[in-house]
Structure 1
Amino acid sequence: MTTGEQSGKAPIVTAEGVTKTFGRGGSAMQVLKGASLSVQPQPLVAIKGRSGSGKTTLLNLLGALDRPTEGTVRFLQTDIGGLSDGKRTRLRRTGIGLIFQSFALVPTMSAYENVEFALRIARVPLAGRRGMAEHALELVGLKDRMKHRPLEMSGGEQQRVAIARAIAHKPSLILSDEPTAELDSRTGLQIMKVFIDLVRREGMTIVLTTHDAAVMELADHVHVLEDGRIVEER
């Protein structure tokens, strides 16, 4: 029984029998081999798996960054694999927030400018951008550091800026690829506290990939990806 089915709620995102093949002919490599996953609203979900197991590939499909070779990915009951490139881009701008392992901040911009720039790209009207950017930075505990540039901040602070950038447009779903991989254990736990607060207080749903046992202990659900399939859930 899947997570969504257990709760009786409609899942926020699902993958059904998803395969993903890169390349063609003799050089083709199948990374996902019929993976299925269902995530209900407002949990913190971790996807665990060895390096090369397909975690990032699955996350990219859930986030409308790529299309499955076979199978279906649905976000709020919409088949996102069947959408045009333009519609998938608009979906990411409004309903999905993406957090990358490398932070991917613009080094010449302050924390505030990095978040505000993302809102500009999402075509949020000018009148609302400042308040939304400041609120997002406040949620991650950086309101007093919003004028600092990335090189003036610690790794944990940079990751919090990246989180603020991902949540500023108030998406329903946050996807994060190995968010604590570049951080020490203490800072990693601080980042997880931010995620937990976003789920509990702001009603967001977060799906992340991880190798970190401490992160898995804090997650509401853990899915194990092995040989291209989800083989275990707790």
Structure 2
Amino acid sequence: MQSASSDIIVATNLQRTFGKGSGAVHVLKGVDIAIPSGSLIAFKGRSGSGKTTLINLLSALDRPNEGRIMFEGRDLSSMSSKDRDNVRRTRMGLIFQSFALLPLMSAYENVEFVLRVSGFPAKERKDAAIWALEQVGLKPRMNHRPFEMSGGEQQRTAIARAIAHKPSLLLADEPTAELDTKTGFQIMKAFRNLVETSGMSIIMTTHDPAIMEIVDHVYELEDGQIVVPT
């Protein structure tokens, strides 16, 4: 697969196997994919199809056994752990099913704290945290702590935390799985707004057919391979 200048990430022949010998499990079996910059992409597939493993590889949390991942023109798969950590910290944002908010901190403090520990310049932290909360519609609730917020507000706080440093790529593993339909659409609206206003690229996994109608492209994984891009 040839990389285009408009692609933020290009993966070629990704293979990931866990275990060895007769107990080896081949989770990804030669995945090729190119993600256009400024797009909202969804991976779908049954449990065990390889969605989360693919997200982990694209986010540099894991390495493929074979294949190459080019992110913004740089080869993630050949980087040292330190360099991959730096790319992930500065150019990517990650959202997981678990909100993992600090319970005694407000929404603002949760976002600002992550910026602080990641080494974000002190004089820019306040503006960055407020900007991120504005993007997800939570500025009026910024002084509320997690137990004072709904599940959707907590998830939006987690999104704000992931985008405060303005990454070029946001990766989310089942971000709406534990939310009701209305709240799930609020999250997707926030994602769509980020893509359209900031040019951010977003990759997410989902099982929700309704959400698949909102994204730009859907890639289906089956038995470790991409079957049909739509």
Q: Which TM class, normalised by the smaller chain length?
A: over 0.9
* AA in 2 matched with 1:108: L
Matched residue of 2:213: which SS? Answer: helix
Matched residue of 2:177: which SS? Answer: coil
Q: Residue 47 of structure 1 is aligned with which of 32, 43, 46?
A: 43
- Pair 1:233 & 2:225 matched: no
Query: Aligned runs of 1:59-70 on 2, under 5 Å?
Result: 59-70=55-66
Structure 2 unmatched runs, 5+ = none
Superposed displacement of residue 10, structure 1: 3.0
Q: Which consecutive segments of 4 or more residues in structure 1 shift more than 4 A? A: none
* AA in 1 matched with 2:146: P
Superposed displacement of residue 25, structure 1: 2.2
- Pair 1:175 & 2:145 matched: no
Matched residue of 1:52: which SS? Answer: coil
Matched residue of 2:12: which SS? Answer: strand
2:106 aligns with 110
Matched residue of 1:12: which SS? Answer: strand
- Cα deviations by residue, 1:40-86 (Å, 9 ceiling, x for unpaired): 10010001110111100000110010100110111111110111111
> 1:64, 1:214 → 2: CA distance?
29
2:201 aligns with 205
Q: Residue 88 of structure 1 is aligned with which of 84, 92, 110?
A: 84
Superposed displacement of residue 28, structure 1: 1.5
1:150 aligns with 146
Matched residue of 2:88: which SS? Answer: helix
* AA in 1 matched with 2:71: F
Superposed displacement of residue 26, structure 1: 2.3
Superposed displacement of residue 9, structure 1: 4.0
* AA in 2 matched with 1:149: R
> What TM-score comes out, normalization by structure 2 length?
0.97
* AA in 1 matched with 2:49: S
> 2:105, 2:57 → 1: CA distance?
30
Superposed displacement of residue 113, structure 1: 1.2
- Pair 1:100 & 2:96 matched: yes
- Cα deviations by residue, 1:156-199 (Å, 9 ceiling, x for unpaired): 00010011001000000000001110000011011100000000
1:25 aligns with 21
> What TM-score comes out, normalization by structure 1 length?
0.95
Provide the identity percentage: 59
Report the RMSD for the aligned CA atoms in angstroms: 1.3
> 1:228, 1:35 → 2: CA distance?
8
Q: How many residues align?
A: 230
> 1:139, 1:41 → 2: CA distance?
19
> 2:60, 2:5 → 1: CA distance?
22
* AA in 2 matched with 1:136: A
* AA in 2 matched with 1:218: I
Q: Please, which moves more after superposition, 8-17 or 55-64?
A: 8-17
Q: Residue 165 of structure 1 is aligned with which of 161, 168, 183?
A: 161
1:127 aligns with 123
> 1:9, 1:189 → 2: CA distance?
31
Superposed displacement of residue 121, structure 1: 2.4
1:192 aligns with 188
Superposed displacement of residue 36, structure 1: 1.2
